[in-house]
Amino acid sequence: MSTLEKPAVAPPSLRQALADFGGLYAANALVAFVFAASGPVAILLAVGTRGGLAESDLASWIFGAFFVNGLISIAFCWIYRQPLVFFWSIPGVVLVGPALGHLSFAVVVGAYLACGALMLVLGLSGWVKRFMDAVPMPIVMGMVAGVFLRFGLDLVFAIRDAFWIAAPMTLAFLALSVSRRLAKALPPVIGALIVGALMVALLGLFDARGAQVLAFVRPNLYAPAFSWQAMVELVVPIAITVLVVQNGQGIAVLRAAEHQPPVNAIAAACGAGALVSGMVGTVSTCLTGPVNAIITASGEKHRHYTSGIMVGVLALAFGLLSPVFTRLLLATPAAFIAALAGLAMLRVLQTAFSISFGGRFTLGALVTFLVTVADVAILNVGAPFWGLVFGVAVSWLLERADFAARAD
């Protein structure tokens, strides 16, 4: 347990947390949560439906993804006084999709639990932090830039495909960003959200047909089954994806915002979270990159943790009421979510590119970026991981002087 990082400062009192909270941090939390509860939920539902899961299985999956991870997020943000929001592994969901075609869900749940145990051991051992410290930050941020690039592109596509929704949102964002005084009174992203919601309502594009009245989820508890096929096909790829790719994104984003995330404790929390959420049929817990990026994009660093706590509270409510919120969010035009996420990611993308190509390891960062953007999986492991592998390899061969300068 000595490998787990201790908080640098004492957890805040309730009075201090309320004093640190404010409109900007509430707005950032709301936008970040809307992002997490829209597109990623749609991916989860699509994969589960294709895999033949029943409605109760899907509801239980979403409950674990939000409620269990919301509890972890609140605890970590409070204890470490940093924005440390946990959700579920989207690449993990993508990996599970094909497996559901030839594996029973009980066997998949067994793989979730084995993966959780593996991550918990790695986090407690301290090996994860040593590995993360060994990878140069420009290369990691090259991966982050490659993963987040699609959000910027989706903003452009949203303007093309749904001009009367995305264009007014973008104009509102730019207008509020011009003046620091205006931006302080009404954060540009929340202004874009309001304008977008008004346009959706005026155009009559909110289709809530079939939405349920208030209904609480009833999570299922699964008896796991274990098979070597599932261990090989799912456990190692999901663990690599969570610890290196997903957590790597989140840690890089937080470090770019001048936070010092507890790498070993995060890995251990992902393992413990996967053990609990796996019992209700949810893919492994991870430190989220996009959500933490949104809540650290503006405001004072020492107050960012309050946004993380609010995201966690919203996640608890969403998990309990997942049947209602999921249908409502899926009734919102895709362009609205795409534009909102893209606008929120602009500054994050700028930071990622600046760190990747503003100094050393630029060739390695470029290779990492290109491999990540290409999005070609190898051995069922996603492109961001291979981007890191190839980027570090190229830098080691052709940028040795940068490694030497880094060591000095």
- How much of the chain is in helix, strand and coil states, percent to nearest 5? 75, 0, 25
The closest alpha carbon to 234, from 120, 93, 42, belongs to 93
Find all residues with CB under 8 Å of 238, minimum gap 6, and list them.
89, 92, 95, 111, 112, 115, 283, 284
The structure's pTM equals: 0.76
Residues 224 and 60: beta-carbon distance below 8 Å: no
Element spanning 95, H or E: helix 90-99
How far is it, in rounded angstroms, from Cα 297 to Cα 301?
10
For 146, list phi and psi in degrees, rounded to 5.
Answer: -65, -40
pLDDT of residue 2: 60
| Residue 217: DSSP 8-state | -
pLDDT of residue 90: 80
Among left, alpha and beta (phi > 0; psi -120 to 50; other), residue 207 is beta
Find all residues with CB under 8 Å of 266, minimum gap 6, and list them.
76, 84, 123, 247, 250, 251, 287
pLDDT of residue 326: 62
Q: Which amino acid is at 370?
A: L
Residue 88: strand, helix, or coil: strand
Tokens 């420009």 locate to 138
Which segments of 100-210 does DSSP mark as H helices, in order? 105-125, 127-134, 137-161, 163-178, 180-185, 188-202
How far is it, in rounded angstroms, from Cα 300 to Cα 305?
10
Q: Which amino acid is at 387?
A: G
pLDDT of residue 214: 66
pLDDT of residue 381: 67
Residues in the chain predicted with pLDDT less than 50, given as ranges, are none
pLDDT of residue 380: 67
Q: What is the DSSP annotation of 253-304? A: HHHHTT----HHHHHHHHHHHHHHHHTTT-PPEEE-SHHHHHHTSSS-GGGH
